[in-house]
Amino acid sequence: MDWASLNAFVAVAEQGGFSAAAEHLHLTQPAVSKRIALLEASLGVRLFDRLGRQVLPTEAGRLLLPRARQMLAEAEAARRALADLGQDIGGRLSLATSHHIGLHRLPALLRRFSAGHPRVALDIRFVDSEQAYAQVLQGEVELAVTTLGPSEPPLQASTVWDDPLCFMVAPDHPLARQARVSLADLAAHPAVLPDPGTFTHRIVAETFARRGLSLKLRMTTNYLETIKMMVSVGLAWSALPRIMADAQVQVLPVPGVQLARRLGYVVHGGRTLSRAAQAFVGLLRADSPAA
């Protein structure tokens, strides 16, 4: 396989055109076009349709794209492994994480990692948990540190932290004045939660559904800090990580109900982690209460 042509193919697909890909790769447009032509000739298929000024992957191109990303990632992993032999850990570490974990769980770990491995360039992408899973699966990042949900091979998930969730309201919310609060009481008031497709939303919604209750959603947003702000001004209740509780909100104990998320890291079982990624995983494992 011609790695240069494969790299050009991924660049055209991701950048949406030959000119943008050429700029991204610091090549001329004819050079990119030649590499795509060589790849198409070697595979015996057309990879892009040129519709006016638009460049779209064909069915064959769409089929090749995730595999091409994975092959390039493996090639880069091999190059890094060989370059790192006998040297201090260096290279680039690409990881995906959520804004909440990036704010509340990672700062101390990143500080220790950077101090211990100053030659490593960090590429941190802040995305939703479900997107983080997808980026690991497609080979775009080496690992994700995120909320853990159901995972199947080739993905491998490991728990680092248990993350208890608490029902929270504004101190002047009607529920804050009740001596006892039930799920039925909560269901009678508007809620604000992450989007329905998220792992956190499912945890909360399934808890209510098991009691035959439905949620009265005022709105959804995936930024937990935004949700907390909306709770603190009395717009709705929510279920938020206990680590976020402070004077701006009031925690509502709900007898018989305990909610929690699992936070941890996800890797691709078929991918050889770089030494930098292995070192970061080691810090994550050491940070786990079970370590």
Same fold, 89-160+263-287 and 162-262: yes
Please state, in angstroms and rounded to a whole number, the distance separating the CA atoms of residues 253 and 70.
47
Residue 254 φ/ψ, nearest 5 degrees? -115, 105
Three-state DSSP class for residue 160:
strand
Contact yes or no for 47/102 (Cβ under 8 A): no
pTM over 0.75: no
Provide φ and ψ at 137, rounded to 5°. -60, -40
Q: Which CATH architecture has domain 3-81?
A: Orthogonal Bundle (1.10)
For residue 79, the tally of other CB atoms under 10 A from its CB is 13
* pLDDT (0 to 100) of residue 152: 87
Report the number of secondary-structure helices (H) and strands (E) in the chain. Answer: 11, 11
Mean pLDDT of 28-41: 93
- Is the domain spanning 89-160+263-287 CATH 3.40.190.10? The answer is yes
Residue pLDDT, tens place only, 132-142? 999 999 999 99
Q: What is the pLDDT of residue 151?
A: 84
pLDDT in tens, 276-290: 999 999 999 998 876
pLDDT band at 88 (very low <50, low <70, confident <90, very high): confident
pLDDT band per the 50, 70, 90 thresholds, residue 85: low
Averaged pLDDT of the chain: 92
User: What is the second-level CATH architecture of the domain 162-262?
Assistant: 3-Layer(aba) Sandwich (3.40)
- Residues 200/255, Cβ–Cβ less than 8 Å: no
In the chain, where the domains are located: 3-81, 89-160+263-287, 162-262
